[in-house]
């Protein structure tokens, strides 16, 4: 529902104590800033007045999402959330507020909460004493956004003994890679070993120190999470140093892996051009995934070096059947590479990939940055051709088999 400050009564009449799912979106109002400049603005008094009233009317609420309106709202005004003892899912990440320690304490005491989306900003410094006993004891999914040091403090202040389904971390500041390695180790030490989904997003670049940290070393604590099925490592500016060994470490550490994405949320090829490390993963980096991750369904790798193609005899013919979606954002050395050789390697490893089969000549006539994209499209076309030929051969074999059976039987159907 949408609550307007001027006319809230009509909306409140729609609320019933039986409501279980509620979304609150505080409307923008247009305010004249200066001269002919107008800006959209939410009145913080709207939430201060209406939030306690709304909460009092829906005691059985199990899911709540607040969109905007909590900007500059003092944390004590969020205390009414503690009354929602049946609440199981709470989304505050886009409410306009960053929860301080006292607010998170309130949320941690909701007895049935299993999914939480929040932004955190702890201004009070480090918290002394032991973690809160029993805090977030039912929480199974957490999506948290904030500075890395605040997120570390969240995990060292509270316990998350039931967090086995999903952790999504969005880091908004610019950590150095050495700091990231240390602080993420502190977070990972608080996680359950059987957590299923880990999503890490970095909205700013990671500063490089004098030493080069490979990707697997930066996130080494993740390698102990053997039950991971979904892993996202996404970077706004550039991916840290990646080698074949890094990807091999991921493949062997996560045998239950179904989805792996390493890349960029928005910058695409332009982000890759900022990678100044000459060492990139090769096609050989795909081998361990075919060998160790039998359930892998989708794989997204930002860049592959195709300067050298592995010989066919070195490719493990495992015939991985689960992988359906393979995305390689860019190819280093693609200008001099033979796309047929690359397609052969991929087809041997993953013969049942989903491929695009509606190519036209015009779809491959582009220029500029699209040329590299067309290279991947060309590889997909070659893969589709190989798969189509196998399908036709399979049909022919089946047809010949049926014809042979007919020859071997008499007119009455007996041998």
Q: How far apart are CA 273 and CA 282, in angstroms?
A: 17
- Annotate 334-355 with DSSP letters as a single string: GGGS-HHHHHHHHHHH-TT---
Paired with 23 in beta bridges are 65
Whether 415 maps to a domain, the answer reads no
Asked if 230 and 197 count as a contact pair (C-beta separation under 8 A), the reply is yes
Do the domain assignments include residue 182? Answer: yes
Token pair belonging to 32? 């004249």
Which residue has 């950590």 as its token pair?
175
Residue 128: inside a domain: yes
Residue 257 forms part of a structural domain: yes
Can you give the length of the chain in residues?
415
Whole-number pLDDT of residue 359 = 59
Q: From CA 24, how far away is CA 47, in angstroms rounded?
A: 10
What is the model's pTM?
0.84
Distance CA 158, CA 143 (A): 15
Determine the distance from the C-alpha atom of residue 258 to the mean position of all C-alpha atoms in its chain, rounded to a whole number. 13
* CATH at 279: 3.80.10.10
Place of tokens 């007119």: 411
Candidates 182, 134, 188, 181; CA nearest to 162 is: 134
**What is the model's pLDDT at position 95?**
82
**CB neighbours (10 Å) of residue 366?**
13
Beta bridge partners, 215, equal: none
The whole domain housing 170 covers: 63-70+89-408
R_g of the chain computed on alpha carbons:
27
52 is a domain residue: no
pLDDT at res. 62: 94
Q: Would residue 3 count as lying in a domain?
A: no
The confidence score (pLDDT) of residue 11 equals: 62
Q: What is the pLDDT of residue 39?
A: 40
- Indicate whether 206 belongs to any domain: yes
- Decide if 271 is inside a domain: yes
List, in sequence order, every beta strand (DSSP E) within 122-213. Answer: 141-146, 166-171, 197-202
**Residue pLDDT tens, the chain, 415 long:** 444 444 555 566 677 888 898 888 766 554 444 455 444 445 556 667 778 888 888 899 999 998 876 766 667 778 889 999 999 999 998 887 778 888 898 899 999 999 999 999 886 545 555 555 558 999 999 999 999 999 999 999 999 999 999 999 999 887 777 788 889 999 999 999 999 999 999 887 665 555 567 889 888 989 999 999 999 998 876 667 789 999 999 999 999 999 999 986 444 444 444 444 556 899 999 999 999 999 999 999 988 999 999 998 888 888 899 999 999 888 888 888 999 999 999 999 999 999 876 655 555 554 444 566 678 888 988 999 999 988 888 776 555 555 566 555 555 555 5
Distance CA 286, CA 323 (A): 11
Segment (H or E) for 400: helix 370-408
Domain count, the chain: 1
């Amino acid at each position: 529902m949408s609550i307007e400050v001027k006319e809230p009564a009509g909306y409140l009449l729609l609320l019933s104590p039986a409501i279980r799912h509620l979304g609150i979106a505080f409307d923008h109002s247009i305010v004249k800033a200066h001269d002919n400049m107008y800006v959209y603005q939410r009145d913080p008094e709207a939430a201060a007045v209406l939030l306690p009233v709304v909460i009092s009317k829906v005691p059985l609420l199990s899911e709540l999402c607040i969109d905007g309106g909590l900007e500059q709202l003092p944390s004590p005004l969020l205390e009414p959330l503690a009354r929602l003892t049946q609440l199981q899912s709470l989304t505050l990440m886009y409410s306009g507020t960053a929860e301080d320690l006292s607010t998170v304490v309130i949320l941690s005491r909701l007895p049935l909460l299993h999914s939480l989306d929040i932004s955190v900003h702890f201004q009070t410094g480090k918290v002394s004493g032991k973690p809160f006993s029993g805090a977030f004891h039912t929480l199974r999914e957490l999506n948290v956004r904030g500075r890395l040091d605040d997120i570390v403090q969240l995990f060292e202040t509270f316990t998350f003994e039931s967090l086995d389904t999903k952790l999504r971390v969005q880091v908004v500041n610019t950590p150095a890679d050495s700091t990231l390695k240390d602080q993420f180790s502190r977070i990972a030490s608080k996680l359950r070993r059987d957590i299923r989904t880990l999503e890490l997003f970095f909205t700013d670049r990671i500063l490089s120190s004098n030493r080069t940290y490979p990707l697997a070393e930066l996130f080494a604590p993740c390698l102990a999470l053997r039950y991971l099925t979904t892993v996202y490592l996404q970077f706004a500016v550039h991916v840290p140093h990646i080698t074949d060994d890094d990807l091999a470490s991921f493949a062997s550490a996560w045998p239950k892996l179904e989805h792996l994405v390493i890349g960029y949320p928005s910058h695409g090829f332009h982000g890759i051009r900022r990678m100044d490390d000459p060492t990139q993963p090769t096609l050989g980096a795909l081998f361990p995934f075919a060998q160790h991750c039998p359930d892998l369904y989708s794989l997204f790798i930002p860049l592959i070096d195709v300067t050298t193609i592995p010989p066919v005899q070195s490719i493990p013919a495992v015939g991985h059947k689960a992988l359906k979606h393979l995305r390689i954002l860019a190819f280093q050395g693609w200008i001099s590479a033979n796309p047929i050789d690359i397609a052969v390697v991929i087809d041997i490893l993953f013969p049942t990939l989903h491929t695009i089969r509606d190519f036209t000549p015009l779809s491959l006539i582009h220029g500029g940055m699209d040329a590299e994209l067309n290279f991947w499209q060309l590889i997909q076309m070659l893969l589709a051709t190989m798969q189509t030929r196998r399908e036709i051969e399979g049909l022919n074999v089946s047809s010949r088999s049926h014809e042979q059976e007919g020859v071997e039987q008499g007119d009455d159907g007996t041998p």
